[in-house]
Structure 1
């Protein structure tokens, strides 16, 4: 009797709605024809994106519904890459913990063929100090700008894993203590030696760019530009409250011209050099442009247009703390570019 009541081909009872929802992946937001037309109006050599992607507040602009941070971190990239304007992402996680080739390959499998990653090199190589959980420097980091570590912990794993989906490798050099800034020539020598030790990115990732971002204005000198040029690298335009405004950073790019553009817009200047936590509190769920910065946006749009019109690639990523919502900042920048 039991067998006749419950035959083998009987479908299993439906899971509760909440359980079924958890079992599904992350669904992308519905994108209208206007976004696709906007993408078509942008230069093909431009890739816009955000800094990471695991933000529940992006529901409606990137996600179809509300998901947890954990679910988005694990399953959100595929949905993120379906947004018409998001053709790159800054893989910030790699700064805090080196990733292996398998982890990079897993990311690469989740995105279309024309998607490219901007990867931050590990802090084990890019940060001069070992820091505690609050970010305070505790002691000198002996691995800072170490050529062998840069190859083993960064270049080789990401090239093996991402292959042609690598867009830019960025060494974001964290803020240096004053004592180190007094001997910039020695630092430039160390930086150049590390960059030259890296395998040529373009051999395994055609079109990939090697870039250096800094957090001390003292770096911005002709000698810095020369060091980058000699190593086949470019300057990553770092729009951050610790750095001068965009106009004051452009001389370094001009010294490296012609060439590609890499830009990371991370923190609105109103928050000051230690303003990440203040920005996080103010911007909440990161679902609105709380602090629009049309001046920076207009200047950046001109730099992008000049770069792409000359036939060079441009990788531009924006963080939530730039204006309040990274996807909406991407949209505003795209509209500024399309408007000319």
Structure 2
């Protein structure tokens, strides 16, 4: 299928998994407003992870959308009821509920993120049935983070390309046996923290590499997400701020 056009302004969509602002980074944000309003005054995007664990009311998504600038984008994680419990099978009712909820983000819904369990083996028949159902409900960017080695083989690559679904670039790259093989012109980096997943802060040398990778991945008309998920001890925000500043300085040079 043909790839979707970017839903953003062309600026790399750098942000965090959630919009909590640690005290140590508070000076970089406005003092007034809700946490989301303050966050969105600095970052162009956020990943909603809480949707994986529990549903949110449609009016909650609508309120979030109304709290951010027009060019701000949300990535929303598909519920575990679909990915981990139903295992992508017979999930129409769950998908319908999710689109009624997250669809309230309107044009600010930039991506639906599908993170699969480490034990989730790629099944071509299941995936070929599921992806059109997901696409029919969400015309935005779709990204899949497979964490079993079978999700990195040729069959998975072919199906993801056929349906215009972006393969996530993860750190650490769970299950990935070799170099990243892209499936669309869009990119989605998820940086979970290394060596301790969700906890470790990234050193400056790694962040410089991320900035260089963002520059190398940029494609006209295609979204480029970079989400820091090392949230457990508040390192995602300062790490993301460093990369945001570095990318903005490079773009202005």
Structure 1 range deviating more: 235-244 or 107-116: 235-244
Call closer, same or farther: CA 1:335–1:102 in 2, change over 3 Å. Answer: closer
Deviation at 1:241, TM superposition (A): 6.2
| Alpha carbons 2:113, 2:142 under 8 Å: kept | yes
CA distance in 1, matches of 2:57, 2:18: 18
- Report the structure, 1 or 2, having the larger helix content: 1
Corresponding residue for residue 91 of structure 1: 48
- Corresponding residue for 1:232? 164
Determine the structure 2 residue equivalent to 1:201: 138
Q: Deviations over 1:32-51 (max 9, x none)?
A: xxxxxxxxxxx833111111
Alignment match of 1:266 (pick from 172, 188, 192): 192
Q: Tell which structure's C-alpha radius of gyration is larger.
A: 1
Asked if the contact 2:82/2:88 (under 8 Å) is kept, the reply is yes
Whether the aligned pair in 2 keeps the contact of 1:125 and 1:149 (CA below 8 Å) is no
Aligned counterparts of 1:170 and 1:87: Cα–Cα separation in 2:
17
Per-residue Cα deviation, 1:272-316 (whole angstroms, up to 9, x for no partner): xxx44xx3xxx6xxxxxx541624x34433442233344321122
Q: Give yes or no for the alignment of 1:50 onto 2:9.
A: no
SS in 2 for 1:60: helix
- How far apart, in 1, do the equivalents of 2:225 and 2:209 lie? 15
The answer for the alignment partner of 1:174 in structure 2 is 117
On the 8 A contact 2:73/2:110 being kept in 1, the answer is yes
Q: Which has the higher contact order (CA 8 A, sep 6+)?
A: 2
- Could you list the structure 1 runs, at least 4 aligned residues long, displaced by more than 4 angstroms after superposition: 321-324
Render the CA deviation track for 1:56-97: whole Å, top value 9, x for unaligned: 4342233649xxxxxx9xx311111112xx011010110001
Quote how far apart the aligned CAs of 1:169 are: 0.4
Instruction: Provide the C-alpha distance between the structure 1 equivalents of 2:130 and 2:209, rounded to a whole number of angstroms.
Output: 32
* 1:212 Cα offset (Å): 0.7
TM-score, normalised by the number of residues in structure 2: 0.81
Superposition CA RMSD, Å:
2.9
Please tell me whether the aligned partners of residues 63 and 79 of structure 1 are also in contact (alpha carbons under 8 angstroms). yes
For structure 2, the 5+ residue unaligned runs are 1-8
* Paired position in structure 2 for 1:152: 96
Distance, in Å, in 2 between the alignment partners of 1:336 and 1:217 is 33
Indicate conservation of the 8 Å contact 1:192/1:228, yes or no: no
Is the aligned partner of 1:221 residue 2:153? Answer: yes
Establish whether residue 192 from structure 1 lines up as the match of residue 122 from structure 2.
Answer: no
Work out the CA distance in 2 between the residues paired with 1:121 and 1:230: 21
Q: How far has the Cα of 1:210 moved from its partner?
A: 0.8
Alignment of 1:1-340 (within 5 A): 44-57=10-23, 58-62=25-29, 64=31, 75-83=34-42, 86-127=43-84, 141=85, 143-146=86-89, 147-159=91-103, 161-176=104-119, 181=121, 184=122, 187-198=123-134, 199=136, 201-202=138-139, 208-240=140-172, 242-244=174-176, 248-251=178-181, 253=182, 256-257=183-184, 259-268=185-194, 270-271=195-196, 275-276=197-198, 279=199, 290-292=201-203, 294-295=205-206, 297-321=207-231, 325-337=235-247, 338-339=249-250
Question: Distance between the aligned counterparts of 1:291 and 1:154, measured in 2?
Answer: 33
Measure the CA separation in 2 of the matches of 1:294 and 1:119: 29
Number of residue equivalences: 239
Q: Deviations over 1:154-199 (max 9, x none)?
A: 234322x0110001100111221xxx64xx3xx2321231111122
- Report deviation, 1:229: 1.6
Q: Are 2:21 and 2:237, in contact at CA under 8 Å, matched by a contact in 1?
A: no
Mark the CA change 1:78 to 1:321 in structure 2 (over 3 Å): closer, same or farther: closer
TM-superposed deviation, 1:222: 1.6
CA distance in 1, matches of 2:143, 2:155: 16
